[in-house]
Chains A and B, each alone.
Chain A
Amino acid sequence: MLRFIVRRLAQMVGVVFVLSLLLFIWLRMLPGGTVSAILGDRATPESRERLTKALGLDEPIWVQYWTYLKRAVTGNFGASTAVLPGRDAFDIFLTRFPATIELSFFAIMIAIVLGIPLGYLAARRRASFFDNASVIVSLIGVAVPVFFLAFLLKYIFAVKLGWLPVSGRQGNIDATRVTGFFVLDGLITREWDAAWDAFKHLILPAVTLSTIPFAVIFRITRASVLEVLDEDFVRTAESKGLTNRVIRGRHVLRNALLPVVTTIGLQVGGLLAGAILTETVFSFGGIGEALALSFRGRDYAVLQVLIMASAAIFVLVNLVVDILYAVIDPRVRTR
């Protein structure tokens, strides 16, 4: 098991390293580039040249990459040009990352807590009205553009009804920061109003972000339960006279959850992409919003760090999923 994990981690480092090289070359080959992004279109050739020299962009690309790598090892990934001009790109990632984790955590929790039981119920009542309706709803859920849903929820629940805050992570509350997860901070420091306020700010973005993972988890659970219900060992269990509770819990659910676990891991990548849209609509201040800002402002230093980080997180989460898989399914361990 340990060897497996170490090998996978080494693989991950390899992927991130190659990705960093590809991204670096790609980002620097772009027309326009950083200089135009900083100075705008009307800069004089002299000032352009000065900035090109100052940023080291006149050197051959492999020299630039080597410099970049040397600095990156010391934690210096270059300065942001658009998101927070002058700040180190990695700093921006670190300060914004907790917001995205908090948001994604709540979103995936909503998706799991609703998706698995509903998928199970739909499968047990196959072809009933409940089954058909929930399948249709989940298919519509996938067809709705995430940012439009965000606008819609914001318009109804924040603007028209005024039940929930419009944007941001916390209102005007003097809250103590410990971990950067605002709800958790409020709970640790016993500032209940701060925790409650941060939670209210989370509801709309988290619900928005949860729709696609919910739809996918729901459908996979349903399909997987249907498949397992048809297996011989379920029939054996029934003919042995086991109670329904034991059959469902030990035989059906446990076997049906395997593909669901894989799916949950896969959805994390989608959450990162969805967070770009959701966080932008709700001005949530996580790495998703930073990605949107750096796409708009062509902030290459930040883009490079954030895309690499996203890939690393995605690969890491899938590693965790594969380990979980081995925990749930003893058959995998022997391979």
Chain B
Amino acid sequence: MSESPQHGWRPGAAKKARIDALAATAAINDAGSVDEKPGVSLIASAWKRLRRDRIFLLGLGITILFLLVAAFAPLIAPHDPSARLLIDQVRPQSNPVPGPQSGFPLGADDLGRDLLSRLIVGSRQTLIVCVFATIFSLLGGLILGTLAGAFGGWIDSTVMRFVDIMLSIPSLLLAFSVAAMASKPSQWTVIIAISIAYLPIFARLLRGSMLAQRHSDHVLAARSLGVKQSAIVFRHMLPNSLGPVIVQATLVLATAVIDAAALSFLGLGNPDDRQPEWGQMLGAAQKFLADYPHLAFYPAACIIVVAFGFTLMGESLREALDPKSRR
């Protein structure tokens, strides 16, 4: 790398130094896997370690459960999540929220809709929000980071100046700002806001690991064999940069779920609640919090468990892919 790890002269150097440190593990991975048997891929050897890691398995279990619930939500949910089944019991003055009763184990919301069904079906929209937000920010970061890291020179400095300015705004504040720009808030404005907030991190991460590889042996070998630049970038450099990117993506999955809730809380989320989403349910529950805290408690618990699961996976992946922590 041409710069010192501290990046002493750039604004926000510390934040970037940490992203770059993560990026550098990609390059180390090449050298780190010499003790593995030949022919064992990075993924296979990482899986071998992860299989024994109880923390990873717990995170994986939570994630699989979440995916299963989301996949079969309409079959599991006892009622239609948008049907106002208990609307007769709703009294705006005395009893705005019908309590638990037979057939409705968690009660209903202020429009008489079954809370349990809304939670179960809500897993779908929650999954859509966090997966798409992560994919979009990953793709954006991939394009910017690959451009900067693979070509260097003025492309690198232009792209990275832009990324640096984005990094100088705290991620969540950036997400709020983007979401506030939308004239008609919807699920997609939430997704776009979150993906823009985390895009610069991916860009910097990829650029870092690309830079670290530009002068490494395998790239040099490919170049001396006369492999085209595009093939070097896509077949040799990019696959080797993916480790830290996957780790970061898993962690962004977790923050996306939480950030969607924060956006709803500030009134910047999706106002259309026919398709329930946990963050939105939590945001909407705040007006009943003093008297009916359970309305907020259930969606919050779902968010915490899922975000916890993603975080566990991300952290164990980080350890498994980092050769320093292999013991």
A residues sitting closer than 8 Å to B (CB atoms) are: 4, 7-8, 11-12, 15, 18-19, 22, 26-27, 30-32, 139-140, 142-148, 151, 155, 159, 227, 262-263, 265-266, 269-270, 272-274, 276-277, 280, 291-292, 295-296, 298, 303, 307, 310-311, 314-315, 318-319, 321-322, 325, 332, 335
Closest 10 CB pairs of A and B: A273-B172, A269-B170, A143-B307, A31-B183, A143-B308, A273-B170, A262-B14, A315-B11, A295-B180, A311-B168
Q: Give the complex CA separation of A306 and B289 in angstroms.
A: 30
Q: Give the complex CA separation of A323 and B266 in angstroms.
A: 36
A314 touches B262 (CB 8 A): no
6 pairs, A vs B, C-beta closer than 8 Å: A30-B183, A142-B254, A263-B18, A269-B169, A269-B170, A295-B177
Q: Give the complex CA separation of A31 and B181 in angstroms.
A: 8
Q: How many chain-B residues does the 8 Å CB contact rule pick out?
A: 50
Q: How many pairs of residues, A versus B, come closer than 8 Å at their CB atoms?
A: 150
Q: Give the complex CA separation of A303 and B315 in angstroms.
A: 35
Known A-B contacts: A4-B9, A31-B183, A276-B173. Give 12 more (CB < 8 A). Answer: A19-B165, A142-B254, A147-B261, A263-B18, A269-B15, A269-B169, A273-B171, A273-B176, A280-B266, A295-B177, A295-B268, A318-B15
Q: Give the complex CA separation of A277 and B282 in angstroms.
A: 14
User: A263, A273, A291: which has the most chain B beta carbons within 10 Å?
Assistant: A273
B170 touches A145 (CB 8 A): no
Which of A18, A19, A32 contacts B183 (CB under 8 A)? A32
A30 touches B168 (CB 8 A): no
Q: Is B84 in contact with chain A by the CB < 8 A criterion? A: no
Known: A139-B311, A151-B286, A272-B170. A277 touches B183 (CB 8 A): no
Known: A307-B173, A314-B170. A322 touches B300 (CB 8 A): no
Which of A19, A148, A280, A318 contacts B296 (CB under 8 A)? A148
B168 touches A295 (CB 8 A): no
Give the secondary structure class of A's interface: helix
B6 touches A332 (CB 8 A): yes
Q: Give the complex CA separation of A263 and B21 in angstroms.
A: 13
A291 touches B173 (CB 8 A): yes
Q: Give the complex CA separation of A299 and B289 in angstroms.
A: 28
A314 touches B180 (CB 8 A): no
Q: Which residues of B contact A332 (CB under 8 A)?
A: 6, 8
In the complex, what's the smallest C-beta–C-beta distance from B15 to chain A, in angstroms? 5
Q: Which residues of A contact B9 (CB under 8 A)?
A: 4, 7-8, 11
In the complex, what's the smallest C-beta–C-beta distance from A128 to chain B, in angstroms? 15
Known: A140-B308, A266-B15. A22 touches B176 (CB 8 A): no
Q: Is B50 in contact with chain A by the CB < 8 A criterion? A: no
Known: A140-B304, A151-B286. A307 touches B169 (CB 8 A): yes
Q: Which residues of B contact A147 (CB under 8 A)?
A: 261-262, 265
In the complex, what's the smallest C-beta–C-beta distance from B249 to chain A, in angstroms? 16
Q: Give the complex CA separation of A225 and B137 in angstroms.
A: 33
Q: Is B224 in contact with chain A by the CB < 8 A criterion? A: no
Known: A4-B9, A8-B11, A292-B266. A274 touches B177 (CB 8 A): no
B164 touches A262 (CB 8 A): no
Which of A22, A143, A296 contacts B266 (CB under 8 A)? A296
Q: Is B303 in contact with chain A by the CB < 8 A criterion? A: yes
Q: Is B102 in contact with chain A by the CB < 8 A criterion? A: no
A151 touches B4 (CB 8 A): no
In the complex, what's the smallest C-beta–C-beta distance from B178 to chain A, in angstroms? 9
B168 touches A291 (CB 8 A): no
Q: Is B77 in contact with chain A by the CB < 8 A criterion? A: no
Q: Which residues of B contact A144 (CB under 8 A)?
A: 300, 304
B164 touches A310 (CB 8 A): no
In the complex, what's the smallest C-beta–C-beta distance from A21 to chain B, in angstroms? 10
Known: A32-B183, A265-B14, A335-B6. A291 touches B176 (CB 8 A): yes
Closest A residue to B183 by beta carbon equals A31
Q: Is B267 in contact with chain A by the CB < 8 A criterion? A: yes
| A-contact 0/1 string along B308-327, CB 8 Å cutoff | 10011001000000001000
Q: Give the complex CA separation of A146 and B279 in angstroms.
A: 12
Q: Which residues of A contact B311 (CB under 8 A)?
A: 139, 142-143
Q: Give the complex CA separation of A146 and B11 in angstroms.
A: 27
A315 touches B173 (CB 8 A): no
Q: Among residues 277 to 299 in chain B, which have CB atoms less than 8 Å away from a CB atom of chain A?
A: 282, 286, 289-290, 293, 296
Q: Give the complex CA separation of A141 and B268 in angstroms.
A: 24
| A-contact 0/1 string along B150-194, CB 8 Å cutoff | 000000000000001100111111001101110100000000000
Q: Give the complex CA separation of A11 and B289 in angstroms.
A: 46
